[in-house]
Amino acid sequence: MKKTKKNVITGKDADIPISTDSSGQPTIAQNAGNGFSRRDFVKKMALGSAGVGLFTASGVEKSWAVHPRRDGNFRFVHLTDTHVRRARRGDEGYARCVEHVRSLSPRPDFVLMGGDGPFDGLYTDKDEFIDQIGLYKAISDDLGMPWYNCIGNHDVLGWSARRKVPVDDPDIGKTLIMNMLGMEQSYYSFDLFGWHFVVLDCIQPVDTSHGPSYIPSIDDEQLDWLRFDLARNMHKPTVAVTHIAAFCHLGQIRQDHDMPSMHGRVLQNTRDLRLILERHGNVRALLQGHTHINEDYRFNDIWYVTSQSVSAAWWGGNWIGFKPGYSVFDVKGGELTWHRREFEWQHHLEPGDNLERERIAELEAFREEQARLRRKELARSAE
C-alpha cells in the first residue's frame, strides 16, 4: 500500500465557513446479489420497502446516513474505471478494492464514482452486460457508505460499430444502466458538509455510418444547466466529476508525436467547460478518469486530477506501471488535499489473454532495464 505526498489546494476560498448541512446523501442500498437477469432485477426493484426504496432526483436512494461533522472536516474517495466482470476475477478484484476502502482510517464519508463501472456495454452481449451492472451495483453497495454514480463510455449499451445488440434495441445507450441503478438523470449535483458536488455526463450520442456512437463532450443543454447551478452555489466550494478528462497528457507521457492534443481520450469541448468552471471562482477541482493513469494538473486555480484505474489494465495486470488504485480526498479547515492509494491484487488472466501476457512481459523487461541503469548510474557516481 503506497502513499504519495499530499497535494494541497489553497486560495481565496480556503476560509469559506463550512456548514453542517447533511442534505443530499443518496446511495443505492439493496445488495442485488450475483447472476442477474433484467427481469429479476426489475422484480426486486418492485418489492417496495422490502427492496430498494425511494429514489432521489439523482437516481440514488437515501439509506446510509451521511452524518454532519461539527468541525466541517470530511473525507471522500474517487473510484473510477472499475470495469467489473466475472472474467479475470474482476468482481473479486473490485470486492478487494471495496474492502480496502472500508479499512481506511479515517473512514471515508462517501464515494464519487468516475464511470466505467461495469466492464463494457459497447461491444459486450446484452445479458453479460446486465450481469456486469448487477455485480457493480451489488459490490458497490458493500461499501457501506453513499456512492454517487457517473456515466462512462463503457457504461452505454451498443454505441459502437462492434455492438452486440440491434440499433433499435429499447435499452441501447444509457437506458439500461440508468434503469438498473435507478438513475433518473445522467448528470446532477448535490451538497454535503457545506460543499457542492457536480457529477457530469460526458458521453453524448452521435449518428454515424455504422449506426449510433458517441463523442466525448459536455452537450450544450448540460453546459447551460451547469453555469446556473454553479451560479446558485457560488458561495460553496465545489468539486466536479467527469469520466473523460478535460486535460490529458498521454502524448507527452509517451513522447508520441503523432497524438494530437485534442485526441479522442479528452473532451472535445474542454474550453467551453473550463470557462464555466472558472467563471464563479468556486470550483476547486475536476476529478477525471478514462485513461487509467494518475495525472495532476493545475490551471487557473482549478485542480484537474485524473485517478488511476481501480482495475488497472482491465484486471489484466498493471497499466503503464500503475497498479489497481484510487484517490482519497480530505477536506480540513476548508483546504482540499488528496493522495493516491493502491491495493494488492494478483491478476488472473484468461487462456486467450495473450496480448496482456505480452504487455506484462514488456513491463517487467522495462523495469529490469531501469533497475540496471540505476545501478550503473549509482556505481558511476560513487567513483
What is the value of pTM for the model shown? Answer: 0.82
Same domain, 183 and 267: yes
Total domains in the fold of the chain: 2
**pLDDT score of 6 more than 80:** no
Residue 202 lies in a domain: yes
Same domain, 165 and 304: yes
Same domain, 171 and 268: yes
Cα 226 from Cα 193, distance rounded (Å): 21
DSSP 8-state assignment for residue 380: H
Same domain, 292 and 380: no
Mean pLDDT of 152-173: 97
Q: Are 252 and 279 in contact (CB under 8 A)?
A: no
pLDDT tens for each residue of 68-101: 555 679 999 999 999 999 999 999 999 999 999 9
3-class SS at 224?
helix
**pLDDT score of 207 more than 90:** yes
pLDDT tens for each residue of 283-330: 999 999 999 999 999 999 999 999 999 999 999 988 887 899 999 999
Q: What is the mean pLDDT of the chain?
A: 84
Residue 288 lies in a domain: yes
Q: Which domain holds residue 374?
A: 354-383
CATH of the domain at 269: 3.60.21.10
Q: Positive or negative CA dihedral for 229, 231, 235, 237?
A: positive
Same domain, 372 and 315: no
Q: Are 288 and 242 in contact (CB under 8 A)?
A: yes
Cell numbers linked to 87: 472474467
Same domain, 88 and 203: yes
Residue 1 lies in a domain: no
Mean pLDDT of 141-161: 97
pLDDT at position 66 is 55
Cα 321 from Cα 64, distance rounded (Å): 36
pLDDT tens for each residue of 235-265: 999 999 999 999 998 888 888 888 887 777 8
pLDDT at position 72 is 78
CA dihedral (267, 269, 271, 272) in degrees, to 10, reads -130
Q: What does the radius of gyration of the chain's CA atoms come to, in whole angstroms? A: 21
DSSP 8-state assignment for residue 154: G
pLDDT at position 257 is 85
Find the length of the chain.
Answer: 383
